[in-house]
Structure 1
Amino acid sequence: MEHQALVIALVGVLGIGAQWVAWRTGWPAIVLMLAAGFIAGPGLHLIDPRAAFGDLLEPLVSIGVALILFEGGLSLEYRELRKVGDAVWRLVIFGVPLGWLFGSLALYYIAGLVWPVAILFAGILVVTGPTVVMPLLRQGSVQQRPAGVLKWEAIVNDPVGALCAVIAYEYFRLAQDGTGLVQVVGPLLLAAALAGAIGYGAARAIAWAFPRGLVPEYLKAPVLLVAVVGVFVGCNLIAHEAGLMAVTVMGIALANMPTAGLRSIHHFKQNVAVLLVSGLFILLSASLNVNELAVFEWRFGAYLLALLFLVRPATVLLSLLGSSVPWNERLFLAWIAPRGIVLVAISGLFALRLNELGYADGSILISLSFAIVVVTIIAHGFTLNPVAKLLRIKGETRPGLLIVGATAWTVALGKQMHDLGTPVLLVDANWARLKPARAAGLPTYHGEILHEATEDKLDLSPFQVLVAATDNEAYNTLVCSEFAPEIGTDRVYQLGDLVDEEDHRALPASLRGRALFADAITPEQLAAWQGEGWVFRRTRLSDQFGVAEAREALPDGAQTLLLLRASGQMRFFTHAAAPEPQGGDTIISFGPPRQRTPEDAAARRTGRKDQIVSAEGAA
């Protein structure tokens, strides 16, 4: 008991620790998790999942995979499919049989496996694995369309790959009795369709019950998790691996139903997915058996190269032939195809069954599947961003600024940041208020930022900082409270007074964003200053021209708003914190118009004022 608890604790520490190191360093989290598990398992023998959990390890991993697939399905919305549907359907309808065929040929002629084992294993290999693709896309920077294709392909093809493996296994198992392929495929396809219908029915039941208050708020997350596990296990009783199809359909169906009652558990399910992915990858690499890896031959290495450079590219390029997908995106999709937990879990299951049927090569599947996972994760994890940059499909890497509320002050702020290369989006529900922003050449969105339809129409992923600056302090607080869990509580800001803890009428600090400016300026005060001609200025710091010199050069009363790092990171001055300026930073300030004096003219002649770029005309 104590040993199992220690293993669970170590798995959690290593998994989340690897995720944190990846966040700090920018390295692929999956690679770090694999390395951590391998060092703790076969390396130092601190963790032995098979000894700790025994026969429970396989069902635990299977349920974890089911929950990850369900969570992935919740992220698939039909609005996105309208943009990537052509590529996704081609990769499913044509890509699966082509990948199965090319993979079987490579396994037989290059890896040297017998035909039954090669065909079954190639069926599993049509999956690309959401447990790997989703974290890579979260950490990387790829344009929306190719990223959407990878995400949809990974989640949709996972249950399809499992079904291919089951079809191959059942055919070879029953072939000795004279059973034909049609007699095998028909019942399995019927079982998969039934599993999908059960998953859809479960989604409809939840979408009907939750908004009507039939489940209390504190039970919604537990009920949903239990429903997913129940659907998965129940459908697996109908046919092997049919549960994966059921939970995937269940997740996709729920994501596209008007289920307002699910909004409160979105962040919870995301946290569960991170914990499961971290734990499963630590268990995966810690379970490696050195003896199983010892059977690795040079032919397997040649097969891995063929998988990376022949099988996947041929599958994707032929599937997308004649489609509207640009060639640079086709080449990117042809390269990125990491495998993950599903491959190892299903391979381990069928390795035992193939041995029971008398196919000695079945035991090789375990070591080969581990090798494929490690090689594809390392190869694609470290090359995703460079390849995306080479093919010119790299997404926006500079942090963006989302401004809610179109006023003269926010338009001037947006113009300053836009001129400095920061992606800016100004949002307001009033079309007329956005007119000055459009005239200034700023990207705008006309709509209510808090409306659910905004999530469907607007991609907010490039924006890592939010400023709520309407003239309604309560609304600013509501916007910050809504977006803080997604963007981060330390990156949502608002205009308004400091909270008076003794004033019970004031909005609580726990709901508010961080107050802009060190003195927490109100919208009324900003409007008054702008009426007096106050403007934004940007001041570039250097080793010779530091923050002290910059403040001396600014007019009296000027308010420093933020620091813009050379990397594009924004650090705001608030009532609670003041960022530490560095050489190369740009200080954005808001202050009164400069009164020209003889001293100013002398200073400009000496070059000191060259460090300051004034935005007098932006007000």
Structure 2
Amino acid sequence: MLEPLLIFDPYILFLLGLGAVVLLVSWAPVGLKRLPLTLAILCVALGVAVFSTGLLAFDPDPRTWDTATERLTELVVIISLMGAGLKIDRIPGWRSWSTTWRLLAVAMPLTIAATAWLGWSGLGFSMAMALLFGASMAPTDPVLASDVQCGPPGSGDEDEVRFGLTSEAGLNDALAFPFVHLAILAAAGGLATQAGLTDWFSIKVGWKLLAGLGAGWLVGKLLGYLLFRSRRGGLSKLTDGLIALAATLIAYAVAEVVHGYGFLAVFVCAMAIRGTEREHDFHQEMHDFSDQIERLLMMLLLVLFGGALANGLLASLTWTDALIGLAVVFVVRPVAGLIAMIGSPPPWRERLLLAFLGIRGVGSVYYIAYGINHGDFGNSERLWAVVGFIILLSIIVHGVTATPLLARLARRSDACAAPDFPADAAPANPPASKNGD
């Protein structure tokens, strides 16, 4: 009896899919420049198409693979945070980073509070699940926000909008963590006890933030010295961009060993390395390597996210859930961002973009997975559906609008900066010549 001509080995199909994703990472950004599509949208669509065929028995549902989801998203986020830190040219300071502090100190808490309230009053979530919902929606995702972030190190592509969104994404992934721990504490009934709240404030807020900050700074300074300031003139000429991955993993691990926030450590480590020798060309090499790894893992995750959508991630979504998701994307973050920017120096157009382009993505998936894996929140199917819908909505809406909006802002800025007369035109009142003519 003749064997079938086509035998769909899952492993071979996986290799085929991985090869297609690598090609997309390499080629698609060039081909999509003039289309209202992004690589993220393309990969989600690819995942939906592939997993809808039924050829793959594997179901990438995060509700089934909760631990794997937590670890994989964690890896992608920390690699993205290293890239974000290396991109920023601006030296940290109270005034120069005022946009960042406003978004972190005002917009993020308002977003958490408003989203948690919507989860509790609108979706009927318990207090613990509503807090987890709010905390997961707080971070501006550093992974999916590459299109709205600063350009490579030293490129000069760092207007106030791109800088604000990049620096916010670099820091609020760590600053949302205390609120995730607060949700876990609420799930355990600890909000009613003074001991639980004291532990949360002193350890989960105080120590973990300080330990993450200190670990990242020390690792970054040490690596920066070895790369640029050591006795033999630095090791940067003897290494390659793989150092970026090493720095990411070391900073994250050291912070976790001392019970600090690894997300914060990675971003601070990148900033410390950059600050050691700010203009060195090796920063570009590290950034490029980190960016390639990040894009590859991000695209793989988005294909799996599309597969989860195809296999029913949004099956329990109701019209109420969808309306709440729309409110989070189009009302909560924009309003919180605009409130945060009241009285700030940037023009109102830049404030609007800073408020609107609060992309939600991989970081939100990580926090949901982390919370569910470390606390007892009960049935989380509806929570996953709402979060999945918000992420899909953000990928589409922000993906389609971000590049045109930023390009339009750049054109207006160039037009305002341009002189009113051609560069080769003679001035209206030319100075008199030495001869008095």
Q: What SS class does the counterpart of residue 345 from structure 2 fall into?
A: coil
The corresponding residue for 1:376 is 394
Q: Which of 315, 332, 345 is the matching residue for 2:336?
A: 315
Query: What pairs with 1:519-538 in structure 2 (closer than 5 Å)?
Result: none
CA distance 1:288–1:155, change in 2 (3 Å):
same
Deviations 1:22-65 (A, max 9, x none): 421332222112211222234554483759x9765542332222
Q: How does 1:128-167 map to 2 (within 5 A)?
A: 128-136=140-148, 144-167=159-182
Compute the TM-score of the two structures, normalised by the length of structure 1.
Answer: 0.57
Other structure's SS at 1:130 match: coil
| CA 388–229 in structure 1, closer or farther in 2 if over 3 Å, else same | closer
Letter in 2 for 1:25: L
**Does 1:36 pair with 2:46?**
yes
Contact preservation (8 Å) 1:14, 1:36: no
Whichever residue aligns with residue 184 of structure 2, its letter is Y
Q: In structure 2, the residue corresponding to 1:294 is in which secondary structure?
A: coil
Structure 2 equivalent of residue 305 of structure 1: 326
Contact 1:22 1:32 in 2 (8 A): no
Contact 1:16 1:278 in 2 (8 A): no
- Higher percent of residues as helix: 2
Aligned residues: 395
Higher strand share: 1
Q: Distance between the aligned counterparts of 1:176 and 1:277, measured in 2?
A: 36
Gaps of 5+ in 2: 1-8, 152-156, 415-420, 428-437
Q: Secondary structure at the match of 1:337?
A: coil
Q: CA RMSD in A?
A: 3.5
Structure 2 residue corresponding to 1:65, chosen from 60, 77, 82: 77
Please give the residue correspondences for 1:49-448 in structure 2 after superposition, counting only pairs within 5 Å: 50=60, 58-79=70-91, 85-136=97-148, 144-173=159-188, 175=190, 178=193, 179-188=195-204, 189-211=206-228, 212=230, 213=232, 215=235, 217=237, 219-239=239-259, 242-258=261-277, 260=280, 262-263=282-283, 264-288=285-309, 290-354=311-375, 357=376, 359-385=377-403, 387=405, 393-395=409-411
Which structure exhibits the higher relative contact order, with contacts defined as CA atoms closer than 8 Å and separated by 6 or more residues?
2
Offset from partner CA, 1:430-487 (integer Å, 9 cap, x none): xxxxxxx99989xxxxxxxxxxxxxxxxxxxxxxxxxxxxxxxxxxxxxxxxxxxxxx
Check conservation: 1:67, 1:273, Cα contact below 8 A.
yes
Give secondary structure in 1 for the equivalent of 2:144: helix
What SS class does the counterpart of residue 84 from structure 2 fall into? helix
TM-aligned CA distance change 1:307 to 1:176, over 3 Å: closer
Distance 1:7 1:218 in 2: 36
Match of 1:321, as an amino acid? I
Contact 1:30/1:135, CA 8 A, preserved across alignment: no
Distance between the aligned counterparts of 2:23 and 2:57, measured in 1? 16
Q: Which moved more, 1:170-179 or 1:58-67?
A: 170-179
Matched to 2:140, the amino acid is: T
CA distance in 1, matches of 2:208, 2:118: 30
Distance 2:12 2:249 in 1: 23
* Structure 1 residue ranges without an equivalent (≥5): 399-417, 420-436, 442-619
